[in-house]
Amino acid sequence: MIKIENLEKVYKTEEVETTALNGINLHVAAGEFVSIMGPSGCGKSTLLNVMGLLDKPESGSYKFIDTELLTLNDRERSNFRKRNMGFVFQNFNLIDELTVFENIELPLIYNKIPAGERKRLVNEIIERMNIVNRSGHFPQQLSGGQQQRVAVARALVTKPKLVLADEPTGNLDSAHGNEVMELLCELNETGTTIVMVTHSSHDASFSNRIINLKDGHVISEKINKSRNEELI
Amino acid sequence: MFKLNLKIAWRNLWKNKGYTLINVLGLSIGMASCILIFIFIRYQMSFDEGFKDQDRIYRMVSSWDYSDGNQFYSQGVPIPITPAVRDDFSPYIEKVSAIQNSGGIVKVNDQHGKEKVKSIENVFYVEPDFFEIFNYKWLSGNYESLKEPNHAVLSKEMAKKFFGNWNDALGKTINYDGNLNYIITGIIDDVPENNSVPLRIMLSYKSLKDRNLNNWGSVSSASESYFKLKRGIKIETLSEPLRLFIKKYYTEKAPGKEGHIFQPLADIHYNERFGNFSGRIMPKKQLYGLMVIGLFLILTASINFINLATAQAVSRSKEVGVRKVMGSQRGQLVTQFLTETFIIVLISLLIASVLTEIALPSMQNLFNAKISFSFFQHPIILVFMFVLVVCVSLIAGFYPAVIMSGFNPALAIKNKISANTGGLGLRKVLVVVQFAITITLIIGTLVILQQMKFIREQPLGFNPTAIAMVDLPNDSLTVERFNRFKAQLKQLPGVEEVSFCRTAPSSQNNNGSSFAYNNSKDADFQVNAKNADEDFLKTFDLKLIAGRNLSKSDSTNEFIVNETLLKRLNVAKPADALGKMISLGGQKKPIVGVVQDFKNKSLHESIDPIIVCSRIERYYYAAVKLNAKQMMTTMKSVEQVWKSNFPEFVYNESFLNDDINNFYQGEKIMGTLFKVFAGTIIFISFIGLFGLISFVAAQRTKEVAIRKVLGASTIELVRMLNGSFLIMVFIANLVAWPLAYLFISKWLSGFAYRIDISIWPFALAMVISMAITLITVSIRSYKAAAANTIDALKYE
């Protein structure tokens, strides 16, 4: 589904140039759950941002199914993003001024889904995520785990083809973290492609494939046998 | 979507109540001031509007050029000019009409012949053509009858006053000035206040008796002449015929070269050179000044908004990031933020409307004008408010919206947007601009107040305190009672001196006459002749510097002159002038005294050459010097004595001090306006500053805490937080000084007697602005510096 070739990204400040991505090649098949790991500064978050069209690389190619995404303009990028991608962040990134329901509804609004349909979809996902009794609360009134569930719900409500998760358990204790990982697995089993950046090998063990980055290069790729066997 | 944005907007405003309050407060005060200024300007611009063919209506006015370079202007024309224009300009003009202003006692009797109404009224003698030029609304009757003498037309208000019901007035009579009855033959609707010709009582022009009916050499501001151009004729076409006209009619040699100007109707309300019958003049430059102040006010409030919004932008960066991740486009975000601004501005507008309503009565008082804040009467106000809201929303909202919507989503969602994004530099520039405006106004206000004080304390050359100016009815019958009246006044306890005179030493009523000194030919300048009796010098405490006082006489036997006259005649020693002859108005009499210069006009103008002489027929006032301790009781007895002497007239008095203060009505209004608006701008600027320092303090909490842990004292921390603000206000002072200097030197040049521009207002404005800044920011920064360190550090 995703073909990334020779991706390069350089950050420039007044004094230094940092090469964040240095000729990355990466293929992700539909229905895969891929983990990207590596030390701090290896470029994994940059890669995720580029995949989510939040950042533009200097050169390379990024094909999604058969569409080249790097040549799109701003408007086309945001249109593509809102139709095909969902995001889960380490720090949840819920809007504090909106309730749980409204937060989840937001991407649907940007996708111009009619109000009745929106209500149905949000309620469906709220039920699935087991947060029905929280739908009127504001983010600050929830625990970290609950907030991340809301964030996941928000990422899923548009039924995206690809979910990008940036250290989704980073701010959670292990119990809540496991809950979120199980959620992602369930999601993957229903056919959603997931790319996750993580520090934790425990989290990575939930995925099909683990890619290790260092200094902007892919240094190793590992098929996660246990998980694949599970699947078979 | 819109609903959701509204929700976010509302919840955000509520969360940041403090900043919201500052924004709403600043904007609503700024907008209220703008609305007030607009209402006032609209009222002023509405003068003399609404007549049919108003673009073709002109007033003929007069000018004189003197050989010494002086120019003199009058709204009036010689009385015989109107018939001459009617003949000589007939190819160009449709109608021309003279209008003569006069004042006197109107009496109305009831059906039994008993006196029902007796009051002093302002009347106009008009030709019927006047109503061909100006299409007033006629309620009944017509102006045809004004072709004949002894007819009158009343306004509805006057008809009601005289006869109870205006419907009853037609055919009834009024008596004017004791000798003539006029039959009412027409009623017009009340002429609105915003009119330069306040018609209320109109009499047949044919009934006018004036000694100057055929005199081309005399111009009174009471005689005006209006005309309407023929359709399609340009006013410039008339300049050559005018040149010939002047050559034809001004045959006698006069010290000033006569000229006439065709003044468009639309210019009458604004032109300071000429007066008008309503006495209301509003120079356009003052209106422009007000517009600038209005602009400053709204700019200051908008700057507050921009600064607080960009400062707060960081706290909304996450929202922006999330929205972008979900597919929001930049345009949508800009719209969202502009909507928020729009809501705040709209709320401010509502509050501003309330404030306007509250401030309106004092504004009416200040300007002595019936301005109203009514949308139905003046829908243009609504339009203005709409434009104001849109403009302010854009000025205040656009920049923050662009900044916020431009955040990089990848950084924004990780809270990596630093507080300095969104124009820290711009914020500083805006603060400097804001304070430069504020400081300019502070300096302006200080100078205006200083100049007003200077004028108040300026030696006038005479003593105006405790002097009542009582109207003196002057005709052949009353003159005979003058001696008895004066004697009675002098006997009253509390009356110290009494003088009968034409005007007080200082008056707005001045006239010039040609004269000759010491057998030479006419001097090339005119002299201001003041008619007064022998008690004039004593009553007003005028100082003789040579010779003696006038001796008692009813007619002109001798002259007293002032120093300026001698200077203009190049007479070095006052004593040299004594005994020299002066010819004035056909009288050739000797100079017996020289009086020290006194201010005979407002201090905008310099002192005229003056002659004082006796002439009983020209005494229009009794100047009564009172014992200051019992003024009120004494005035009651003065009134009684007056009424017993002149029972057929209406008593009227004023105090000289009030009259003199009235010279400076314009400056007083200016002063008040500046005080009020400078205060408003200072307030808006400083609440903005308070908001900004609050933000900076909140944002630097962690830094403050770390510094404190490392050993910084509270004072050091306060100093650190305050530093940049004091520097900005200091720079603002440097920017404001030259601007303020330009403004005040221009303003002061309008006064013949003025203060020298000194460093003090500038220095004082600097001290004031720096001191208030220091206090404002210290309140907040002290709180931040003294806060508990650990709280700031343990929370990440």
Q: What is the pLDDT of residues B20-41, one digit of tens each?
A: 888 899 899 999 999 988 988 8
Top-confidence residue, A114 or B669: A114
pLDDT band at A231; cut points 50, 70, 90:
low
Residue B706 belongs to some domain of the structure:
no
User: Is the pLDDT reported for residue B571 higher than 90?
Assistant: no
pLDDT, tens digit (0-9, with 9 covering 90-100), for B734-754: 999 999 999 888 888 877 778
User: Is the pLDDT reported for residue B796 higher than 60?
Assistant: no
Top-confidence residue, B501 or A16: B501
Other beta carbons within 10 angstroms of residue B738's beta carbon come to 10
A95 touches chain B (CB under 8 A): yes
Whether B595 and B528 have beta carbons less than 8 Å apart is answered as no
Q: Among B1, B12, B328, select the one facing A78 at the smallest CB separation.
A: B328
pLDDT band at B795; cut points 50, 70, 90:
very low
Average pLDDT of chain A, as a whole number: 86
Last residue of a domain, one of B587, B618, B648: B648
| pLDDT-above-90 percentage for chain B | 30
Residue B614 belongs to some domain of the structure:
yes
- Which residues are bridge partners to B96 per DSSP? B227
Query: How near does any CA of chain B get to the CA of A107, in Å?
Result: 5
What is the Cα–Cα distance from B4 to B18, expressed in whole angstroms?
23
Is the four-CA dihedral B752, B753, B757, B762 of positive or negative sign? negative
Q: Which of residues 165-224 of A touch B (CB under 8 A)?
A: none
What is the Cα–Cα distance from A160 to B504, expressed in whole angstroms?
93
Quick one: which of B61, B58, B84 has its CA closest to B230? B58
What is the Cα–Cα distance from A5 to A28, expressed in whole angstroms?
12
Residues B58 and B43 in one domain: no
- Which residues are bridge partners to A17 per DSSP? A12
Parallel, antiparallel, or unpaired for β A33-37 and A209-214?
parallel
Other beta carbons within 10 angstroms of residue B6's beta carbon come to 14
pLDDT, position B419: 56
pLDDT, tens digit (0-9, with 9 covering 90-100), for B344-386: 899 999 999 999 999 888 888 887 777 777 777 788 888 999 9
Name which of A51-55, B203-207, B231-235 the model is least confident about.
Answer: A51-55
Average pLDDT of chain B, as a whole number: 86
pLDDT, tens digit (0-9, with 9 covering 90-100), for B256-304: 788 999 999 999 999 888 888 887 888 888 888 888 888 988 888 888 8
Whether B101 and B277 have beta carbons less than 8 Å apart is answered as yes
Last residue of a domain, one of B379, B397, B422: B422
Residues B82 and B195 in one domain: yes
Interface test with B, best of A79, A89, A91, A106 (most B CBs within 10 A): A106
- Which residues are bridge partners to A220 per DSSP? A212
Count A/B contacts: CB-CB distance under 8 Å.
72
Residues B117 and B229 in one domain: yes
Contact A102 B7 (CB under 8 A): yes
Return the DSSP state at B756: P
Instruction: Please write down the HEC assignment for all residues of B143-184.
Output: CHHHHCCCEEEEEHHHHHHHHCCHHHCCCCEEEECCCEEEEE
Contact A74 B330 (CB under 8 A): yes
pLDDT, position B258: 86
For range B295-320, the mean pLDDT: 84
Contact B327 A82 (CB under 8 A): yes
CB-based contacts of B202, cutoff 8 Å, min separation 6: B123, B124, B125, B126, B146, B152, B153, B154
Domain with B630 in it: 474-648
Residues B416 and B485 in one domain: no
Contact A106 B330 (CB under 8 A): no
Residue B223 belongs to some domain of the structure:
yes
Classify burial at A221, counting beta carbons within 10 Å of its beta carbon; exposed 0-12, middle 13-18, buried 19 or more.
exposed
Q: Looking at this predicted complex, what is its ipTM? A: 0.70
Q: Chain A partners of B329 at a C-beta cutoff of 8 Å?
A: 74-75, 78
Residue B677 belongs to some domain of the structure:
no
- Which residues are bridge partners to B655 per DSSP? B468
Containing B53, the helix (H) or strand (E) segment is none
Residues B60 and B127 in one domain: yes
Whether A208 and A227 have beta carbons less than 8 Å apart is answered as yes
Residues B510 and B591 in one domain: yes
Residue B155 belongs to some domain of the structure:
yes
Q: Chain B partners of A55 at a C-beta cutoff of 8 Å?
A: 408, 410
pLDDT, position B272: 83
pLDDT, tens digit (0-9, with 9 covering 90-100), for B713-742: 778 788 888 888 889 899 999 999 999 999
Residue B771 belongs to some domain of the structure:
no
Interface test with A, best of B7, B322, B414 (most A CBs within 10 A): B322
Contact B7 A98 (CB under 8 A): yes
Residues B220 and B326 in one domain: no
Other beta carbons within 10 angstroms of residue A72's beta carbon come to 17
Which chain A residue has the Cα nearest residue B319? A95
Residues B545 and B592 in one domain: yes
Quick one: which of B117, B178, B193, B188 has its CA closest to B146? B188
Residue B30 belongs to some domain of the structure:
yes
User: Is the pLDDT reported for residue B794 higher than 60?
Assistant: no
Query: How near does any CA of chain A get to the CA of B1, in Å?
Result: 6
B312 touches chain A (CB under 8 A): no
pLDDT, position B773: 87
A43 touches chain B (CB under 8 A): no
pLDDT, tens digit (0-9, with 9 covering 90-100), for B739-792: 999 988 888 887 777 888 888 889 999 998 899 888 888 888 888 777 765 555
Residues B247 and B290 in one domain: no
User: Is the pLDDT reported for residue B705 higher than 60?
Assistant: yes
pLDDT, position B4: 76
pLDDT band at B657; cut points 50, 70, 90:
confident
Q: Among A49, A93, A110, select the one facing B327 at the smallest CB separation.
A: A110
Number of domains, chain B: 3
CB-based contacts of B482, cutoff 8 Å, min separation 6: B472, B500, B616, B619
Residues B641 and B514 in one domain: yes
Residues B293 and B204 in one domain: no
Contact A55 B321 (CB under 8 A): no
User: Is the pLDDT reported for residue B149 higher than 80?
Assistant: yes
Interface test with B, best of A47, A93, A100, A158 (most B CBs within 10 A): A93
Contact B319 A95 (CB under 8 A): yes
Contact B15 A97 (CB under 8 A): yes
Residue B734 belongs to some domain of the structure:
no
Structural domains of chain A in order of their starting residue, each with its CATH number: 2-231 (3.40.50.300)
Q: Among B7, B326, B329, select the one facing A107 at the smallest CB separation.
A: B326
Classify burial at A19, counting beta carbons within 10 Å of its beta carbon; exposed 0-12, middle 13-18, buried 19 or more.
middle
Q: Which of residues 482-501 of B touch A (CB under 8 A)?
A: none
Last residue of a domain, one of B648, B665, B691: B648
| pLDDT-above-70 percentage for chain B | 96
Residues B218 and B316 in one domain: no
- Can you state the percent helix, strand and coil of chain A, rounding each to 5? 40, 25, 35
| R_g over Cα of chain A | 18
